[in-house]
Structure 1
Amino acid sequence: MSSLFFHRWSQEVKFQYGVLRSIFDWTIIVYLLLPGLVIFSFIYRSWWLEQPGWIEDLPLLILFYSGYFAAWMGNYRTFILEADKVFLIKHPALFIGLKKAGYIYSLVLQSSGIGLLSILLMPFFRYTYHLAYDQILAFFITFSLLKWLIMANKYRLGSINGKLARGLACFFSFIAGSWMIQLVFLAWEAKMYPVIILAGILFSGISFILHIPLLSKIARFEEEQLLEKRERNKYIHFIFTFSPEVEKIPVTSRSRPFLFKKSKRLYKDRTPENGFLELFLKIFLRNSQHWSSFLQLVSVTAAALMFVPPYWLKGAVLAGFIIMLHSWLSMIWEKVTFSHPLTKRFREDHDFLLAKRKAIRYLLFSGISMALVPFCFRLLLFS
């Protein structure tokens, strides 16, 4: 079993190395990666010598929540391949042994991620918030055990039929976990270690109860193999997501769209301009790739406006965001309308051009408002 696990693990390392090599050629390594590592090392060293000004406005709970968000990243690895259905299922002892080895490897790997986060935050913990080393150790242990529980819970939630039901279950699990973490934070800040130990025992115990019985079963081979395939290819999907040359076509199993499934009219006044505008808005909102990219642009800009210190730099970020979002919306309009022969023939029509300007204006103002709301709320809060 151990030889099979290490063979699969070495294959995984070679595969991920090949994925990274496809991105980091020698020019990227020399001009971007190495300078970035050197700059980050100097920045991290400066955090130990002198605290940056932006950290003074952040409450300690925000850093504590960074561990909670990190705990929701990652899944189990089983190192199961599609061909194993033919061979390993006929040898259940070998198959179950591979799953157990992958389970232990996943626990250690995910805990290492929490450890890396703890090391990155240590200068802030020590010199900004004046925490003791035992509190930092409690931070690492608490979120490592919490991550084990969340991975087990996510694995169970993945078996729920129905995308909407599964999404709602994940959402309420995230909210319930955030409430629980606030209670743990109060105990952690007050150094109430018996409460933290009890919480850690609860996290690890529930995670073991949820997942260990599944390690000795082979009936969920299809789900486990699909999860392993998704985890193995997640870096490839990440590259495709940020590659503008690759067309990302959303795959859906729905026979009817989730939004506007009855295709009701958005405008009572049935003019050609409103017809073009309604057509574009429905296509834009029904395509998850379009509105998710829109929200990504808005969220990154909102975060920059929140944490970039100088106001002149905030203004530059906002101006660049407006230019970039306007250009992106124009590109999406052309992509949606010019690709179809029925709408392409109206590209020089006056109503068509008016609808284009109105659609871009609506979405542009919506994006600017969504990006400014957190910044304005922060100004009101700290004033």
Structure 2
Amino acid sequence: MEQVTERTGSLNWSSGKLFRRRLSRYWREQWRVWRTVLDWTVCLYIVLPALWIGGGMYVELWNEPASWMNQIPLWTIRLPALLIINLGILRTFAEEADVLFLLQKPDWRKGLILRGISYTAVGRGLIIAVLYALMLPFLIIIHKLSWMSVAEMIIVTWLWAIIGSLCRNLLDGRYRGWRRMVWKAAASALLSASYVIPIFLFAPQGIHMVWQPAVGLLLIVGLIPQKLRARDTFESDVQQEHRARLASTELLLSQVIERKPRIKMNKPIILRSSKRLFQSFDPATMLAENTIKTFLRRLSLIRIWLSFFGISTMAMLLSPLWVKVLLLILLPLLVSRWVQSLCDNFVHEPFIEQFQWADLVRKQMAEKVRFWLVIPVAVVLGLAAGLQMFGVWGIAAGAAAGLYWWKANEIMSDILMLKSRKKGTV
């Protein structure tokens, strides 16, 4: 009998019942987390006094507004509203196990997503209502706005918050890595501009035009079907739900547990695939190639190289003629000394060092690396000095600087090799 009841009961499941069960479980989990810190002593000595004092200050703002409030312009109300618009997430209540059955039931999946959108809209609406309720004295008493104008501001902010949640959810599922960051930044800028600019252009006194909420509704109507049809957002939905469930726990334990650094395994921006840079397969060339790849794949080293590049070029442009010649000789040598230290560090890496590289191989490797990493600096410095002094004919100075560095690099290799032999290093 129990088995029959259990089987018949399982047939009564629907997307609405699944959503209600997950929603109730979520709030039970949050209540258990907050109950560990919100005992009766905290409520008695912290929460209740804070509500009493805050309520008294709020009533006082209605009766006797502070004089400093008159100095605050109306547009400042947009700043906290923009935070709500650009920081909210779309709650879908997706779970890892849904890949086994929920994705096979399109009606259930769509029903869960629609209820998640409704839940997100209600949550965003409550937060926005609290925000504007706190700023009502500023809007009504100080700037003399009507209640209808305040209601219009709340509606527009609420619509744009929903649009932001939908856009970020779709972008999180569609893009990865730096592309996701770029697209989300662009969407955030466009969303903020479409929210603020119409207010300054058409409604400077805080009164919104009728077309702005209409446009917001049309955007929402267009974004919801895209979310329902999207097949690439499931993993990001699960990750966002996991972070949402643990948000309260992380907040309460943020000052208790020491946070360990997270190891990221992202592909580099430059040389994402291991392709050859040189055609030769001799040991020195192979070692030089891996050294250059290591340099190009580390953003911190590229940042230092570009900083020295910019400072050297600026110094060259601001110096007189005789100083330009001196800088053109010395600055490439300074850069090459830094590159030489990079070569030494790479050769002494535990994995690389075990091959016991010969002195000649290390000399040829360092010479190749110094040549290719320093010659752009030498040529650009020569071009900067030559074009500034001789115009178009100064292009020849760039070629001369390249030839100079070619010979100086060879001489530097012989000097470093001689020093290495005197020290008795292998």
Question: TM (normalized to structure 2)?
Answer: 0.56
1:51 equivalent in alignment to 2:65: yes
Post-superposition Cα deviations, 1:149-179, rounded to whole Å, max 9, x if no partner, equal 1112211222353433322333333333333
- Between the aligned partners of 2:191 and 2:38, the Cα distance in structure 1 is 38
Which residue does the alignment assign to 2:247?
Answer: 234
Task: Tell me if the contact between 1:96 and 1:217 (Cα under 8 Å) persists in the aligned partners.
Answer: no
Residues 1-383 of structure 1: matches in 2 within 5 Å? 1-186=15-200, 187-190=202-205, 193=208, 196-217=209-230, 220-241=233-254, 243-254=255-266, 259-261=299-301
The secondary structure found in structure 1 opposite 2:161 is helix
For the structure 1 residues 181 and 78, does the alpha-carbon distance in structure 2 shift closer, same or farther, using more than 3 Å as the test? Answer: closer
- Between the aligned partners of 2:183 and 2:64, the Cα distance in structure 1 is 43
Task: Tell me if the contact between 1:146 and 1:204 (Cα under 8 Å) persists in the aligned partners.
Answer: no
The secondary structure found in structure 2 opposite 1:77 is coil
- Between the aligned partners of 2:191 and 2:109, the Cα distance in structure 1 is 33
Post-superposition Cα deviations, 1:275-318, rounded to whole Å, max 9, x if no partner, equal 9xxxxxxxxxxxxxxxxxxxxxxxxxxxxxxxxxxxxxxxxxxx
Task: Tell me if the contact between 2:160 and 2:195 (Cα under 8 Å) persists in the aligned partners.
Answer: no
- Between the aligned partners of 2:124 and 2:176, the Cα distance in structure 1 is 28
Post-superposition Cα deviations, 1:30-85, rounded to whole Å, max 9, x if no partner, equal 22222212221111111111112432221110113322222223211111222222
Q: 133-142 or 170-179, which moves further after superposition?
A: 170-179
Task: Tell me if the contact between 2:78 and 2:196 (Cα under 8 Å) persists in the aligned partners.
Answer: no
Matched AA of 1:188: A
Matched AA of 2:249: I
Q: C-alpha displacement at 1:116, in angstroms? A: 1.4
- Between the aligned partners of 1:201 and 1:112, the Cα distance in structure 2 is 21
Task: Tell me if the contact between 1:89 and 1:218 (Cα under 8 Å) persists in the aligned partners.
Answer: no
For the structure 1 residues 224 and 178, does the alpha-carbon distance in structure 2 shift closer, same or farther, using more than 3 Å as the test? Answer: closer
For the structure 1 residues 245 and 98, does the alpha-carbon distance in structure 2 shift closer, same or farther, using more than 3 Å as the test? Answer: closer
- Between the aligned partners of 1:165 and 1:88, the Cα distance in structure 2 is 29
Q: C-alpha displacement at 1:222, in angstroms? A: 1.8
Post-superposition Cα deviations, 1:306-363, rounded to whole Å, max 9, x if no partner, equal xxxxxxxxxxxxxxxxxxxxxxxxxxxxxxxxxxxxxxxxxxxxxxxxxxxxxxxxxx
Matched AA of 2:58: Y
Which of these two proteins has the greater Rg computed from alpha carbons?
2
For the structure 1 residues 124 and 248, does the alpha-carbon distance in structure 2 shift closer, same or farther, using more than 3 Å as the test? Answer: farther
Q: C-alpha displacement at 1:148, in angstroms? A: 1.4
Q: 17-26 or 108-117, which moves further after superposition?
A: 17-26
Task: Tell me if the contact between 2:170 and 2:233 (Cα under 8 Å) persists in the aligned partners.
Answer: no
- Between the aligned partners of 2:36 and 2:267, the Cα distance in structure 1 is 37
For the structure 1 residues 182 and 34, does the alpha-carbon distance in structure 2 shift closer, same or farther, using more than 3 Å as the test? Answer: same
- Between the aligned partners of 2:49 and 2:263, the Cα distance in structure 1 is 39
Q: C-alpha displacement at 1:87, in angstroms? A: 2.9
For the structure 1 residues 259 and 18, does the alpha-carbon distance in structure 2 shift closer, same or farther, using more than 3 Å as the test? Answer: farther
- Between the aligned partners of 2:86 and 2:230, the Cα distance in structure 1 is 25
Superposed CA RMSD in Å reads: 2.9
The secondary structure found in structure 2 opposite 1:158 is helix
Task: Tell me if the contact between 1:114 and 1:144 (Cα under 8 Å) persists in the aligned partners.
Answer: yes
The higher relative CO (CA closer than 8 Å, separation ≥ 6) is in: 1
Task: Tell me if the contact between 1:80 and 1:225 (Cα under 8 Å) persists in the aligned partners.
Answer: yes
For the structure 1 residues 73 and 184, does the alpha-carbon distance in structure 2 shift closer, same or farther, using more than 3 Å as the test? Answer: same
Matched AA of 2:259: E
Task: Tell me if the contact between 1:115 and 1:140 (Cα under 8 Å) persists in the aligned partners.
Answer: yes
Q: C-alpha displacement at 1:139, in angstroms? A: 0.6
Q: 91-100 or 183-192, which moves further after superposition?
A: 183-192
Task: Tell me if the contact between 1:88 and 1:94 (Cα under 8 Å) persists in the aligned partners.
Answer: yes
Q: C-alpha displacement at 1:226, in angstroms? A: 1.6
Matched AA of 2:262: P
- Between the aligned partners of 1:175 and 1:222, the Cα distance in structure 2 is 25
Task: Tell me if the contact between 1:74 and 1:151 (Cα under 8 Å) persists in the aligned partners.
Answer: yes
Structure 2 gap ranges (5+): 1-14, 269-296, 309-333, 336-340, 342-426
The secondary structure found in structure 2 opposite 1:80 is coil
- Between the aligned partners of 1:114 and 1:252, the Cα distance in structure 2 is 36
Q: Matched residue pairs, number?
A: 267
The secondary structure found in structure 1 opposite 2:135 is helix
Task: Tell me if the contact between 1:148 and 1:203 (Cα under 8 Å) persists in the aligned partners.
Answer: no
- Between the aligned partners of 1:184 and 1:235, the Cα distance in structure 2 is 36
Percent identical pairs in the alignment equals: 21
- Between the aligned partners of 2:298 and 2:44, the Cα distance in structure 1 is 47
Q: C-alpha displacement at 1:143, in angstroms? A: 0.5
